[in-house]
């Protein structure tokens, strides 16, 4: 931390301005209370105050390096007493010499100088305390600001890494099975194999290229979902059917990247993987009261019992939405017969956007 007085021209002006203000008060007292001639009063006030201001400058370093927390109280008190005595001796010695030289034939004033020693010492101590406390306050404030800044940065980092954890990873099962389909298609339908390689590449590119905190348009996110569903359609054939009904008003809506992907992965996992019948995955996007509403409905076999428990995917999305929008009422799911509904609401304004 730099010396606060020399931080800028403004701070130098404020510092010496304050001392001139104090000199002004002293000048008024000397003129009206003690009836000294104007030039003597002015010289006395300026010399004493500006000198203190100058000699007081190095006090900063004493304050700076005796931060109350770092050393014990005895050390601090000892340091300050030493510097106080030193400062008073230099200050008063210099001021006294200058003023008595300037006005050596003014007997009344010279007597006053001698008589006023105790008063000047007391005011010197008070000025020392005032200046010291001001410096301490500045340091305290500076440290506080730094701490707040650090905390804010730490929070951002934490949030980013949390989001990264929650962002869906490419499911290796999906990846290797898709590659197997491609391998199969190269013999029977090379054209379709090439198409699938391109779709899979685009899908992978989209998944790896964007950070977890970044936002994209709903149109782009849905484009990627279409790729994903097309790939799954090649794997499962007619067993998978999908429909997209998107209100054109929604397509520009910003949404967290790859937030829809796990929802479709779920629909495929619990719908297509567990069923022997045809499974329809429907998507509807609409605008309603300051939100974009995305609804994904998939068929599932109510008799199929998942091999192991699920729910991690949905919880991750909930957590991601909470970290992005500070709300936890954006994702809702329900079952109706053999249909599974996922409703996702995306608020229009995005608070605290990362990256």
Partner 1 sequence: MKPEHRHKVLLIDDEPPARQIIRDFLKSYPGLEIIGEYADGFSGLKAIQELKPDLVFLDIQMPKLTGFELLDLLDEPPVIIFSTAYDQFAIKAFEMNAVDYLLKPYSKDRFSQAVDKAIISLGAGNKEVESVKKIIETVEEEPDLLARIAVKIRHKVHVIPVREIRYLEADGDYVTLHTERDKFLKEKTMKYFEKHLDPERFIRIHRSTIINIDFMDKLEYYDKESYAVLMKDGTMLKASTSGYKVLKEALKL
- The site for partner 1 (CB under 8 A) is made up of 172-173, 175-177, 179-185, 187-188, 234-237, 239, 273-276, 301, 304-309
DSSP 276: S
In whole angstroms, the minimum distance from the beta carbon of 68 to partner 1 comes to 50
Q: Which is nearer to partner 1, 100 or 177 (CB)?
A: 177
Q: What are phi and psi of 286, to 5 degrees?
A: -140, 160
In whole angstroms, the minimum distance from the beta carbon of 227 to partner 1 comes to 17
Q: Which is nearer to partner 1, 8 or 184 (CB)?
A: 184
In whole angstroms, the minimum distance from the beta carbon of 177 to partner 1 comes to 4
In whole angstroms, the minimum distance from the beta carbon of 186 to partner 1 comes to 9
In whole angstroms, the minimum distance from the beta carbon of 314 to partner 1 comes to 17
In whole angstroms, the minimum distance from the beta carbon of 317 to partner 1 comes to 22
Q: Which is nearer to partner 1, 202 or 301 (CB)?
A: 301
Distance CA 53, CA 128 (A): 10
Rg (CA), the chain: 38
Q: Which is nearer to partner 1, 97 or 189 (CB)?
A: 189
Percent helix, strand, coil in the chain, to 5, is 65, 15, 20
Q: Which is nearer to partner 1, 177 or 316 (CB)?
A: 177
Q: Which is nearer to partner 1, 177 or 286 (CB)?
A: 177
The partner residues of 291 in beta bridges, in order of sequence, read 288, 347
Q: Which is nearer to partner 1, 175 or 297 (CB)?
A: 175
Kindly give the interhelix angle for 38-56 and 117-166, rounded to the nearest 10 degrees: 40
Residue with tokens 């608070």: 351
In whole angstroms, the minimum distance from the beta carbon of 320 to partner 1 comes to 24
Q: How many CB atoms lie within 10 A of CB 76?
A: 16
Residue with tokens 């010289």: 43
E strand spans, 204-338: 215-217, 240-246, 254-256, 279-288, 291-299, 331-336
DSSP assignment of 16-57, as one string? HHHHHHHHHHHHHHHHHTT---HHHHHHHHHHHHHHHHHHHT
């Amino acid at each position: 931390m730099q010396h606060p007085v020399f931080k800028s021209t403004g701070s130098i002006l404020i510092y010496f301005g304050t001392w001139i203000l104090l000199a002004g008060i002293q000048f008024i007292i000397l003129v009206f209370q003690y009836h000294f001639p104007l030039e003597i009063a002015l010289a006395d006030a300026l010399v004493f105050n500006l000198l203190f201001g100058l000699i007081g400058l190095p006090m900063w370093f004493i304050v700076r390096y005796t931060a109350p927390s770092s050393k014990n109280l005895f050390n601090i008190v000892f340091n300050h007493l030493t510097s106080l005595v030193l400062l008073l001796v230099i200050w008063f010695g210099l001021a006294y010499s200058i003023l008595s030289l300037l006005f050596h034939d003014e007997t009344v004033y010279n007597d006053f100088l001698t008589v006023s020693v105790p008063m000047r010492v007391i005011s010197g101590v008070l000025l020392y305390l005032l200046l010291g406390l001001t410096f301490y306050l500045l340091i305290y404030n500076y440290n506080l600001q730094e701490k707040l800044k650090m905390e804010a940065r730490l929070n951002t980092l934490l949030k980013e890494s949390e989001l990264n954890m929650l962002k869906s990873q490419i499911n290796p099962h999906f990846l290797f099975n898709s590659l197997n389909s491609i391998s199969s298609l190269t013999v029977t339908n090379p054209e379709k194999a090439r198409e699938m390689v391109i779709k899979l590449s685009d899908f992978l590119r989209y998944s790896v290229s964007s950070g977890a905190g970044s936002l994209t348009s709903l149109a782009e996110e849905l484009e990627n979902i279409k790729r994903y569903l097309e790939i799954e359609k090649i794997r499962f054939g007619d067993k998978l059917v999908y429909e997209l009904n998107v209100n054109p008003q929604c397509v520009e809506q910003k949404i967290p990247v790859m937030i829809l992907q796990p929802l479709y992965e779920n629909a495929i996992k619990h719908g297509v993987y567990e069923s022997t019948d045809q499974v329809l995955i429907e998507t509807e996007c609409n605008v309603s009261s300051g939100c974009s509403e995305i609804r994904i409905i998939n068929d599932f076999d109510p008799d199929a019992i998942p091999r192991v428990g699920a729910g991690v995917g949905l919880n991750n999305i909930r957590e991601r939405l909470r970290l992005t929008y500070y709300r936890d009422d954006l994702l809702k799911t329900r079952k109706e017969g053999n249909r599974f509904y996922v409703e996702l609401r995306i608020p229009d304004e995005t608070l605290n956007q990362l990256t």
